[in-house]
Chain A
Amino acid sequence: MELSNIEKLLERYFEANATVAEEEMLREYFAKEDVPLHLKEYAPMFQYFSIAREEKFTKQVPLKPRKKSYLKWISVAAVSILIFGIYLGRSYQEQKKAEYAYQETKKALSLLATNLGKGTEKVAYLREFEETKQKIYNKN
């Protein structure tokens, strides 16, 4: 590019009136070796900007996967359901046990009742015996 053109561009550059494309032209121009002496002092500026653009961010960023919290809540829900289930199962079993006990006592009581019935039958004989005994006493 012509020298006068570059000088004009430089002027616009320092007044901040140059466009991005024009600034790119300047950077390209100063990246070359054969810059006239009176412009040489600007060269490091443009070279520096080109070099500064190359700097990279190399550190690794530890990104925690978001699924973790999701899983956590699922496990909390699972545990609570399990505990509730155990509780329900327990109470159901208790109810069954109670029913069984009720049936058993009922059986025992009915056994008792039948035996008691037999007892009263026998007592009826005894009363007859008593009556005849009284008759005999009265006669005497």
Chain B
Amino acid sequence: MQQTEFLNVVLPFKDKLYRLAKRLLVSKEEAEDATQEILMKLWSKNNMMEDYNNVEAYAMMMTKNFCLDRLKSKQAGNLKLVHSNYKDENVSLQNQVEVSDSLSWIEKIMEDLPEQQKMVLQLRDVEQYEFEEIAELLGMSATAVRVALSRARKTVREKLVQKHNYGIK
């Protein structure tokens, strides 16, 4: 497989890999590194790539495993500083800030979810995968995916309502 051909195969889902990596690793730089690593791994195996009937699912699985490994080794080592509570304090754009603020809340709320729920929510609500695809990717049953998803969505809702009330009171 030639380089351009490979890029054409990878192009439709490379952003998905990145978003999943970013959801799990939080930091932009680490997510970029992880995505790069995954793509390079795929490239080095590209002779075998024709054998996989679904390259995207395979790549997503690789990304998931890679990021979870990263997180494990990170827990063992020291934690990295992440700019998750950085805020742009621009008063003149207050309305805009308010909107993006409540959006970044959700990002923060999602950060606190357990990894499995994080991934389910990411794959379903952001990437719009079917339950069967998610189940296969995460090695869970479809029912377990539904349960995890429902739980994750309800947690997000609950925390969001809490935050809103804080704002008012």
Chain A residues in the interface with B (C-beta under 8 A): 13-17, 20, 23-24, 41-42, 44-45, 47-49, 51-53, 55-57, 59, 61-63, 65
Known: A16-B146, A55-B15. A45 touches B126 (CB 8 A): no
Contacts of A56 in B (CB 8 A): 15, 18
A15 to chain B, nearest CB (A): 5
Whether A53 lies near B157 (C-beta < 8 A) is no
Question: Is there contact, CB below 8 Å, between B35 and A53?
Answer: no
Q: Given the complex of chains A and B, what is the CA–CA distance between A47 and B157 in angstroms? A: 13
Q: Mark B84-109, 1 if CB is under 8 A from A, else 0.
A: 00000000000000010011011100
- B160 CB–A CB distance under 8 Å: yes
18 further contact pairs, Cβ within 8 A, besides A16-B146, A20-B130, A41-B160: A14-B150, A15-B150, A17-B146, A20-B128, A41-B157, A44-B106, A48-B107, A53-B127, A55-B15, A57-B15, A57-B17, A57-B18, A57-B32, A57-B35, A59-B32, A61-B39, A61-B43, A63-B6
Alpha-carbon distance between A48 and B99 when the two chains are bound, in angstroms: 10
Q: Name the 9 nearest CB pairs between A and B, nearest first.
A: A57-B18, A16-B150, A44-B102, A16-B149, A48-B106, A16-B146, A49-B125, A48-B103, A59-B32
Complex CA–CA separation, A29 to B79 (angstroms): 40
| Known A-B contacts A55-B19, A57-B18; A23 and B103 likewise in contact (beta carbons under 8 Å) | no
Tell yes or no: B70 within 8 A of A by CB.
no
Assembled-state Cα–Cα distance A59/B99 (Å): 28
Docked Cα-Cα span, A15 to B131, in Å, equals 13
**Residues of chain B at interface, number, CB under 8 A:** 39
Q: For residue A57, which residues in chain B have a CB less than 8 angstroms away from its CB?
A: 14-15, 17-18, 32, 35
Complex Cα distance, B18 from A52, in Å, reads 11
Contact A14 B154 (CB under 8 A): yes
For B13, the closest partner residue in chain A by CB is: A57
Q: B106 → chain A, closest Cβ, in Å?
A: 4
Q: Is the CB of B82 closer than 8 A to any CB of chain A? A: no
Q: For the complex, what is the distance from the CA of A55 to the CA of B17, rounded to whole Å?
A: 11
Q: A45-B106, A45-B160, A55-B19 are in contact. Are A63 and B128 (CB under 8 A)?
A: no
CB-defined contacts of A42 to chain B, threshold 8 Å: 157, 160
Q: List 12 A-B contacts (CB under 8 A).
A: A44-B102, A44-B160, A45-B160, A53-B19, A56-B18, A57-B14, A57-B17, A59-B35, A59-B36, A61-B39, A63-B7, A63-B39
